[in-house]
Amino acid sequence: MTMVRLGYVAMSTELENASPSQTMTFAQFQKIDNREAAIRKLEKIARSNLENTLRHLKHNAASAIHFYRLTSRLIPLANHEELHDWDYLTPIADVLSEVGEFANKHNMRIDFHPDHFVLINAKDKDVVKNTIKTLQLHFRLLEGMHTDTTHRCVIHVGGEYKEKEQSLERFITNWMVIPSHLQRMIMLENDDVSFTLADTLYLCEKLGVPLVFDYHHHLANHNKREWEREWNRVVQTWKDSPHPVKMHISSPKSTQKFRHHADYVDTNMFFDFLHTIKGSVKQIDCMIEAKKKDAALFHLMEDIQQRADVEVIDGSRFVLKE
C-alpha cells in the first residue's frame, strides 16, 4: 500500500497580497542615499516575506496540505558582494523561528529549490564559490527555522558544457570542496535538457545523494531509456534519508511546448506513474510544479476524489488501493 502526499510551490492563488518573494534590486538599493536606511528597508522586505510565508503555512494547515516548497527569495541581496557585512538573520530571527515552529508543529515537510545559478559542476571557481555561499544561505535559513537541514535543497546537476562525461566527473571533483553539512542538505534532480535520469543516478549512487525524480523532465529527456527499469535504484538513493521518497510532477503545456509547465496536472498522466510505482514505497511526496500552484493541487484532488482506485485521507493525501 502506498500513500501519496501532494505539495505545491511557494505561492498560493487564494491568498491576496501575500508574496513571499518581494525583492529589491541592487540598483534600487544604491538609490537610497543613507546605507543604513537602505539596509533597514531590505530587512523590512525580508520580514514581510517571512510573515507571508507563515500565512502560506497557515493556509496549508487549514487546507490539510503537508508539503510545501519555500521560495529561495526570502531575503533580497543577502549574498550580494557589496553587503558582505550585513547581518541579515538577527533582525528576522523571531519570525524565521515562528515559520519553522509552525511547520514542525503541523508535521509539514518544507524544502527549497535554489535557482539555476547554483552550479556545483561549474568550470569557473568563482561560480562554485558563489554556489557554496547560496547553499550556506539556505542552510542558515533552515537552522533559523530550527529545522533539520538533511535533504532540504533540490538542485540540478548543472551545465553540460557540451561535454557531458567531463561535466559529470567535474561535479564529483567539485563535490569534494562542498562542506559536509551542505552536502547532507542536497538532493539531485534529473533535468529536461541535459542530464537524464541515468546520468543523475550515476552521481547520486556514487555520492550517496537522494534523487528527486521529475517525471515530466524524464519524458522530455530520456534517450529512449524507460524510467521503470531505474525506479528501484531511485528508491534506494533514499534509504538513508529521514524523509519519504520525493518526486516532481507537472504536465506539458502543449505538444509544441512540451518542456513548459501547464497550469494544471494531467490526472491520467500522473496516475500512469503512480500505478507503476504502487507498492514499491510506503509513501511518496509529490511536489506539483504546475503554474496554478495550490489551485492545481485542489483541482487535482477534486479529480482524485472521483476515482475508484484510491482512498482519500484529507485535502492532499490519498492511498493507492491494491
Reported as a single tens digit per residue, the pLDDT across 28-79 is: 999 999 999 999 999 999 999 999 999 999 999 999 999 999 999 999 999 9
Point out which residues pair with 189 in neighbouring strands. 156, 212
Q: What is the distance of C-alpha 321 from the center of its chain? A: 28
| Greatest distance between any 2 Cα atoms in the chain | 66
Q: How far is it, in rounded angstroms, from Cα 80 to Cα 27?
A: 12
| Domain assignments of the chain as residue spans, ordered by start | 1-111+250-268+276-322
**Which grid cell is 71?**
521560495
Distance from C-alpha of 104 to C-alpha of 98, rounded to nearest angstrom = 10
CA distance 137 to 131: 10
Q: Please report the pLDDT score of residue 224 as a whole number.
A: 83
- Mean pLDDT, the chain, whole residue set: 97
Burial letters for 205-239: b for 16+ Cβ neighbours within 10 Å, e otherwise?
Answer: eebebbbbbbbbbbbbbbeeeebeebbeebbebbe
**Predicted model pTM:** 0.96
Contacting residues for 126 by C-beta, under 8 A, at least 6 apart? none
For range 220-238, the mean pLDDT: 95
- Percent over 70 (pLDDT), the chain: 100
SS3 24: coil
DSSP secondary structure of 170-232: HHHHHHTTS-HHHHTTEEEE--SSS--HHHHHHHHHHHT--EEEEHHHHHHS-TT--GGGGHH
Tell me if residue 22 falls in helix, strand or coil: coil
Measured at the alpha carbon of residue 305, what is the angle toward residues 285 and 59, in degrees to the nearest 5? Answer: 60
The pLDDT tens digits for 181-200 are 999 999 999 999 999 999 99
Give the position of cell 511526496: 285
Give the H/E segment covering residue 234: helix 231-236
Cross-strand partners of 7: 287
Least confident of 73-82, 174-183, 218-227, 241-250: 218-227
Grid cell at residue 180: 559536509
Span 148-170, pLDDT tens digits: 999 999 999 999 999 999 999 99
Cα separation, 76 vs 43, in Å, equals: 9
CB 70 within 8 A of CB 138: no
Q: Which residue has the higher pLDDT, 1 or 144?
A: 144
> Would the pLDDT of 322 be above 90?
no
